[in-house]
Structure 1
Amino acid sequence: MSDQDEQVPVIPLREAPGERAAWGRGPAWVIAWMLVEWLLVTNALQPSSRIRVAALRAFGARIGDGVIFRQRTRVKFPWNLEIGEDCWIGEGVWFHNQDRVVIGHDVVISQESFITTGSHAHRRDMALITRPVVIEPGVWVTSRCIVTGGVTLGRSCLVSPAAVVMKDVPAGRIVSGNPAQDAGARFQPQPRRG
């Protein structure tokens, strides 16, 4: 290691502020949720979407009618989750929601996608920073996408497979890539008749 390398600081992680501040509930409640999540939500051997939804609601999630939650789904803090009616949440989706995640009706979030509201400051202290995610009605987040805190996915937009979304997406647009870039309109205008 050179002298120049030794002059670059290392952030002491045990001093990083903010982790428990994002819990929003006491330790006993968080531990109870972790157990219920493990048994009833992420458990691949538990086939019932209704049981998953009931467990999430019991811990404060606001979930509309007709929502399907597949196996292996993870929800960090259900009290920070709101989902409208008739949504499909695919297998292995992870809501790392240290802040609010609000999802409109008729939204699809496909397999293995990751929605996160928390990150760490790229400063000297690695402080936790949380910002909500809003997913408007009709959005389709396809498989293995990442959506980061502070993002709004506009009405009926489409996030292509494996895209990393770090900024707002306008209504009706398709985004793809890392970082996600505009790839065109999701719907073509219909010709007027008559």
Structure 2
Amino acid sequence: MALKKPGSTEGRENFITPVINLASAPGERAAWDRSRFTVYLWAAAELIFVTNAWQVSSKVRVAVLRLFGADIGPGVVFRPRTRVKFPWKLHIGADSWIGEGVWFHNQDHIYIGHDVVVSQESFLTTGSHAHRVDMRLLTRPIHVHSGAWITSRCIVLGGANIGRSALLQPMTVVAGDVKANAIVRGPQAEFVAFRFRVKEGNE
């Protein structure tokens, strides 16, 4: 009995794998929620005051983000080389630390609690595409609860809900829920251990 070769089209000769015409895909401006002028002005301000490694003052960075609508609590540290797609969709609680090179690609809202650490080069993105239909933009918010630590080079996708004081080990990918106090790792955010010892019945 002859085996089919990988990728064989036997039995489906009339099937042609479709290709979505990206030229006619719906644009992403529906996610802007601001005028073109504001978006372009923010792009310039981000380059000068936020992403710029030469701009060393966290207070200046936070002030500019607030000026463009970011909801940032007191005591937040925002390191250089960070990127924020839309500051008016960013919410960060008091005393949180945002590490160097963090990228908030927030076409939808990102909510971060107080005393949260987002470490170097981590990427939080709320956007995806209707990949089976017309590649239109799809967005879902991200929630990171108080006390959580997203360590270096993690990826957090739209719809993620990271529980109170959870810890993501380096290069973890999160697409769903992470329970409070859990340590997770890897591309499937597998549970490793509890971060803190707690009494039964406490969160």
Same fold? TM cut 0.5: yes
Who wins on radius of gyration, i.e. which is larger? 2
Structure 2 residue 153 is the aligned partner of structure 1 residue 144: yes
Unaligned runs of 5+ in 2: 1-7
* Alignment-mate amino acid for residue 135 of structure 1: V
CA distance in 2, matches of 1:14, 1:76: 23
Aligned to 1:39, the other structure's residue is in SS state helix
CA distance in 1, matches of 2:71, 2:192: 33
CA distance in 2, matches of 1:118, 1:42: 21
What's the TM-score once normalised by structure 1's chain length? 0.93
What's the TM-score once normalised by structure 2's chain length? 0.89
The answer for the alignment partner of 2:141 in structure 1 is 132
The answer for the alignment partner of 1:68 in structure 2 is 77
Deviation at 1:36, TM superposition (A): 0.1
CA distance in 2, matches of 1:23, 1:133: 17
Structure 2 residue 12 is the aligned partner of structure 1 residue 21: no
TM alignment of 1:1-194, pairs within 5 A: 7-189=16-198
CA distance in 1, matches of 2:52, 2:119: 18
Deviation at 1:14, TM superposition (A): 1.7
Name the CA shift for 1:31/1:178 in 2 (closer, same or farther; >3 Å). Answer: same
CA-based RMSD of the aligned residues comes to 1.8
Q: How many residues align?
A: 190
The answer for the alignment partner of 2:3 in structure 1 is none
For residues 93-150 of structure 1, the C-alpha deviation after alignment (integer angstroms, 9 at most, x for no partner) is 0000000101100000000000011111221211110000011000000000000001
